[in-house]
Amino acid sequence: MAIFGKTRQFETMVALLEEMGEKGVLTMETFSIAIKAFAAAKERKKAVGIFELMKRYNFKVGVDTINCLLDSLGWAKLGKEAHALFEKLKDRFSPNLRTYTVLLNGWCRVKNLMEAGRVWNDMIDHGFKPDIVAHNTMLEGLLRVKKRSDAIKLLEVMKAKGPSPNVRSYTILIRDLCKQMKMKEAVECFDEMLDAGCEPDAAVYTCLITGFGNQKKMDKVYGLLKEMKEKGYPPDGHTYNALIKLMTNRQMPDDAVRIYKKMVQSGIRPTIHTYNMMMKSYFLTRNYEMGRAVWDEMGQKGCFPDDNSYTVFIGGLIRHGKSEEACKYVEEMIEKGMKAPQLDYNKFAADFSRAGKPDILEELAQKMKFAGKSKEKERKTIKIAEERKPFISNFEYFPFLSFPYKFQDPN
């Protein structure tokens, strides 16, 4: 189910779900996988349609299931759609604190703090006190719209009135400072976190490693890695991916592979992002054999390619004069419901003409045209919806400070 969902083979995924239903082996996890897969692909109606399947197999649609759907839509940056669905369903279930928190996250992810503030108020009006997760979600939302001074004020309010900031709270701020290359302030924030009695974890160290790495201060990077090991916070998958990215950005794919091998030896499973970075780096340094080896390794490890994987691999094939093989992988993408990548079709045409196969490109174009027709109406609808979004300029509001929609302090 998870594999079909990730590769967007939705018909097969639903067929498998129904087969599991007939055999009586369905669980809530099954439906959760389907909901998340459709939401990630921005297929909101299909995600909601899973509710009907649940009813067919006598599964109760409760608050946890609805929260899962709302959360999945929020993470897919469909905050508006999640809220509309909540308004439609709120009379059929009893929302809890998590319900309001996932709605808050959905609006924060699309940088709409006005709506996030309304959700916050609704949360309090319904008797729920925002917890550390809700506060951290708002903290992250502020930084997404570059309101660092307001984020710091929120952190101060948390220190004074609670809930007390945790390691996640500080990590959110440190990550933003590292992205802005403000490493002095990031280290000061890290020290403040330690003084507050918060134990660091791999995530906060990874932020600092990435920041110093981007400044090419590798002595700092190695020092932090040593500190992690000494203090008993071993690197996790995100740490290894950050190190691999540092190497690939410097076009040092062999060093990236050495880190990858250490990652595997440590018992950490690489993600699709891990392979995509290494593969792209090898193709950029014109090492086709190793780029192809990474693609093969990805399949052998059971990590299935996503849109970016295909785009990187197909581009590598074309650059190395393997256009006919590239064509097969473009067809494979289309068959899986993925959007075909932007390609140099002039190079394609020249390669096929030299090979005496000029019709291949035309056949491919027809397949792409056919696959695109079903999405044309959807794209137009989305475009119209985006054009109708209300425009809010000079947004200077934030709850606790000067929020126009009356903000209630839970304390």
End-to-end CA distance of the chain: 45
**240 CB neighbour count, 10 Å cutoff:** 23
Share of the chain above pLDDT 90, in %: 63
Ranked by mean pLDDT, which of 151-155, 298-302, 398-402 comes out on top? 151-155
pTM value is 0.79
Confidence at 382, pLDDT banded by 50, 70, 90: very low
Confidence at 327, pLDDT banded by 50, 70, 90: confident
1.25.40.10, 1.10.10.60, 1.20.1560.10, 3.30.465.10: CATH of 63-163:
1.25.40.10
Q: What's the average model confidence in pLDDT over 210-226?
A: 95
Amino acid 357: pLDDT: 57
* Statement: residue 393 has pLDDT above 70: no
What are the tens digits of pLDDT across the range 107-164?
999 999 999 999 999 999 999 999 999 999 999 999 999 999 999 999 999 999 999 9
- Decide: 262 and 237 in contact? Cβ < 8 Å: no
Q: Does the CA dihedral 112-118-119-124 come out positive or negative? A: positive
What are the tens digits of pLDDT across the range 50-79?
888 888 888 888 899 899 999 999 999 999
* Three-class DSSP category at 407: coil
Confidence at 35, pLDDT banded by 50, 70, 90: very high
Amino acid 352: pLDDT: 57
Amino acid 125: pLDDT: 95
Whose structure tokens read 């410097």?
250
Q: What's the average model confidence in pLDDT over 336-348?
A: 69
* Statement: residue 181 has pLDDT above 80: yes
Confidence at 390, pLDDT banded by 50, 70, 90: very low
Higher pLDDT, 406 or 173: 173
Q: Which tokens sit at 163? A: 């809930």
* Statement: residue 238 has pLDDT above 90: yes
Amino acid 360: pLDDT: 56
Spell out the residues 6+ positions from residue 407 whose beta carbon is closer than 8 angstroms to its own: 117, 120, 121, 399, 400
Distance between CA atoms of residues 362 and 377, nearest Å: 24
Distance between CA atoms of residues 124 and 102, nearest Å: 15
- Decide: 329 and 348 in contact? Cβ < 8 Å: no
Q: Choose the weakest-confidence range: 87-96, 116-125, 295-304, 326-335.
A: 326-335
Amino acid 353: pLDDT: 56
With 0-12 / 13-18 / 19 or more C-beta atoms within 10 angstroms meaning exposed / middle / buried, residue 127 is exposed
Amino acid 351: pLDDT: 60
Amino acid 367: pLDDT: 53
* Statement: residue 379 has pLDDT above 70: no
Q: Choose the weakest-confidence range: 154-158, 238-242, 261-265, 406-410.
A: 406-410
Higher pLDDT, 398 or 156: 156
Closest alpha carbon to 290 in 303, 300, 302, 278: 278
What are the tens digits of pLDDT across the range 353-371?
555 555 555 555 555 554 4
DSSP 8-state symbol, 21: H
* Statement: residue 409 has pLDDT above 50: no
User: What DSSP line would sit under 262-324, residue for residue?
Assistant: HHHHTTPPPPHHHHHHHHHHHHHTT-HHHHHHHHHHHHHTT----HHHHHHHHHHHHHTT-HH
| Mean pLDDT, the chain, whole residue set | 85
* Statement: residue 249 has pLDDT above 90: yes
Q: What's the average model confidence in pLDDT over 245-268?
A: 94
Domain ranges of the chain: 1-61, 63-163, 166-234
